[in-house]
């Protein structure tokens, strides 16, 4: 298992569109991936799970990846967050 903490920089946080991008990437990989925020842990392959975190701009999230392709998955998700989901 590998993990990394990220900070959401996009204006609207993990609302529908960014959450969809997140789950779309997560769905392409074999590894399991979870998002942790303030003790709440959700499956990042579920758009409802991701939205349930209600993570707004500035929230800190831990991305956890577990499985054979965990490294590229984590990398791609971190990039997505750092690129502010190509929006704003």
In whole angstroms, what is the distance from residue 41 CA to residue 43 CA?
Answer: 7
Residues facing 2 on adjacent strands? 65
| Choice from 47, 63, 73, 77 touching another protein (CB under 8 A) | 47
Q: Does residue number 25 form part of the binding site for another protein (CB under 8 A)? A: no
Residue closest to 40 by CA, chosen among 48, 32, 49: 49
**Is 15 tagged catalytic?**
yes
Q: Which of 4, 37, 43, 78 binds another protein (CB under 8 A)?
A: 43
CB 62, min distance to another protein, A = 18
Q: What are the CA-CA distances from residue 15 to residues 3, 27, 75, 82, 87 (Å)?
A: 22, 18, 21, 16, 12
Interacting residues toward another protein by CB under 8 A: 9, 11-13, 15-16, 20-21, 23, 27, 43, 45-49, 51-52, 54, 56, 83-88
């Amino acid at each position: 298992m590998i993990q990394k903490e990220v900070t959401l920089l996009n204006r609207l946080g993990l609302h529908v569109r960014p959450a969809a991008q997140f789950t779309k990437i997560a769905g392409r990989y074999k590894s399991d991936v979870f998002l942790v925020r303030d003790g709440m842990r959700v499956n990042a392959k579920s758009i409802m799970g991701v939205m349930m975190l209600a993570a707004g701009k500035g929230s800190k999230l831990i991305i956890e990846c577990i499985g054979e392709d965990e490294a590229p998955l984590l990398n791609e998700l971190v990039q997505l967050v750092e690129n502010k989901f190509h929006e704003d």
